[in-house]
Amino acid sequence: MAGPSKAGPALRLLRKGQVERAAEMFKKLLQQDPSDLGCMVGLARAHLARKKFDEAQPLLRQVLAQVPDHGEAQSHLAFIDLQNGNAPALDLLKRLTLSRKAGFFEFFNAGTALLQRGDDQGAQVALERAKQADQKSAQVRVALGRLHLKRGDFRDAIAELKAAVELAPNDPLPVLLLSQAYAATGEAGHGADAVGKALITQPQSVPLHERMVEVSLLAGWPQKAIKSAIALRQINRLNPDYAYMHAVAMLASGLVPEARHILEGTLQKEPKSAALRQALAQTLRLMGEEAKALALLEETAQLKPGDPGVAADLAAAHLKAGDAAKAQKALKRALEEHPDHPVLHYDLALAQAKAGDKAGARISAAKAKASTDLLVAELAGKLLDGLK
Amino acid sequence: MAPAPADPKKPPAPASAPAAAPNSPARTISGELGAAPAARYTGPDPKVACGLLQGTGPSDQALAVVAHVTGGPVPVALGAESFPALRGAVRTHLDSNLPPGEKPLPVGGAPVFDLELALTRFHDRAYAVARVGPGVPLGDSDESTQTGLQKAAWKLPRPC
């Protein structure tokens, strides 16, 4: 009779995430005892963790040669088959979850496959079973959290993602998703708190600082956004996006000349960015330099005539100058690329009304009123009333 | 009132702070030249409100925050009433100017964070870090949350 498996130390390495070292150890152990099932399964898992399906397959077949009803090995093989384009493998994956002995990987593989196939309901059932099999799997919590996010079940998403954050405290991914779920519920402050907590253990994490800028701005905490933007610029001085984020945070904080100064510096590195040019034009306008702002917007509209932000700002400038025709021209050009943009429709309605085209204005205002953007819908409604 | 005694742990303060050369603004923490002090802002409060950009992709992947600068509005008079022209939202990231589907190149040697790739890697780690099976006792580091009966179900039969 074969002795007990010697896979223990290598499995422990694997569980700590030291996949390469664990794989080497499994290989050595299998040289000593080629029939060690624990090592075969462990090495197959190490290959699966690195998407080395071709190397996992022979090992899993060897497992099945010894134990034909080995559920995990069958499930992994079916999952690999499915990834290789063999659609009927999905049926086997589903069938394996029905076994009384079905464990974590049978449910996890089936859940993943069903997610890939767009069967969210089936995926949720499988993933919930996987969660029962391993309460401490951060991966299952993230998969369930994403599923809830996708369906708009934000409370459930937050519960799963909070658990994932606790289970994988050194990975930025669960926190990024959690902050997203909070942002979707309008609780960006909670998202900023979660990201701030993660930044204590991961102070150099670029995605976390980027997210901190976003959720802090959303929460109305521009000072926190400025802090993370500065951290990003210190981590990577050459990335113009971080300078731009810094400028937007400064603008949100009311520091207009400082924002303008950063934007002007960044424009030299990113001369074609419409976002940057538009933000700079807004600071120029706020500082009373209307002519410069208009010139910059007109130049940008030449570069990117369909940009909705630039078109709306340009139209506002033309309307301020009393030139409704130019405003309409800019807006109509942008609407060709963004036919459902509510702000463009609203501004166009204003420009048309100003030019005496009440019928056109009513059509445009009605389109703006249908928007899910509450502010635009409300203003468009009032405008429609005024046009009667 | 007598001045407070100097802290012996601190280096002595210079007799006078080094005067900045005229017309040479200080450098900021990121190494750029600071704004000239003459640029004192007297314009309107920018009144920035941030929100989420609608329709920017799947809710489990995209978080597009935009800033609405509502300070200094443009009122458009229509008869007796006046309506504000709406400005475009300011994006919180630079537009990439890349063709659709093309991924940005690393800037300054730092790899660009790719959420899709991070999600895949995180998912695949499940095969390594799973605490269940394959029926091999791991001693005191076995962190399986399964009950004894569940664990027994995982035990592999040994060939005789």
pLDDT tens per residue across span B28-56: 555 555 555 555 788 888 889 888 876 55
Instruction: Please report how the helices A37-49 and A8-15 are oriented relative to each other, as an axis angle in degrees rounded to 10.
Output: 20
In this predicted structure, what is the pLDDT of residue A372? 84
pLDDT reading at B159 higher than 50: no
In this predicted structure, what is the pLDDT of residue A294? 95
Q: Do B88 and A308 touch (CB under 8 A)?
A: yes
pTM, two decimal places:
0.84
pLDDT reading at B22 higher than 80: no
Nearest chain B residue to A135 by CA: give it.
B145
| A168: DSSP letter | S
DSSP per-residue string spanning chain B: -PPPPPPTTSPPPPSSPPPPPTT-PPB-TTSSBPPPTT----S----EEEEEPSS-S-TTT---EEEEE-SS-EEEEETTEEEEEPPPPEESS----PPTTPPPPPBTTBPPP-HHHHHHHHHHTHHHH--S-SS---GGG----S-HHHHHHHPPPPP-
As a whole-number percent, the residues of chain A with pLDDT over 70 amount to 99
Q: Which residue has the higher pLDDT, A38 or B39?
A: A38
pLDDT reading at B19 higher than 50: no
Q: What is the pLDDT averaged over residues A47-72?
A: 95
Average pLDDT, chain B: 68
Average pLDDT, chain A: 94
Nearest chain B Cα distance for residue A88, angstroms: 22
Q: Which residue has the higher pLDDT, A269 or B160?
A: A269
Helix (H/G/I), strand (E/B), else coil: A158: helix
Q: Which residue has the higher pLDDT, A26 or B140?
A: A26
Q: Which residue has the higher pLDDT, A169 or B160?
A: A169
pLDDT reading at A297 higher than 80: yes
pLDDT tens-place string over residues B115-141: 889 999 999 999 998 877 665 544 333
The two tokens of residue B137 are 């006792």
Q: Do B128 and A179 touch (CB under 8 A)?
A: no
Report d(CA A244, CA A228) in Å as an integer.
12
CA A358 to chain CA centroid, Å, is 42
Report d(CA A166, CA A142) in Å as an integer.
11
Least Cα distance to A133 among B91, B28, B153, B1 occurs for: B153
Q: Do A104 and B132 touch (CB under 8 A)?
A: yes
> pLDDT band at residue B160, thresholds of 50, 70 and 90?
very low
* B69 backbone dihedrals φ, ψ, rounded to 5°: -95, 110
Q: What is the pLDDT averaged over residues B85-111?
A: 78
As a whole-number percent, the residues of chain A with pLDDT over 90 amount to 91
Report d(CA A178, CA A207) in Å as an integer.
13
Nearest chain B residue to A1 by CA: give it.
B160
Cis peptide upstream of residue B134 (ω within 30 degrees of 0): yes
Report d(CA B81, CA A315) in Å as an integer.
19
Chain A residues within 8 A of B45 when measuring between CB atoms: 254
In this predicted structure, what is the pLDDT of residue B2? 45
In this predicted structure, what is the pLDDT of residue B28? 55
Q: Which residue has the higher pLDDT, B134 or A199?
A: A199
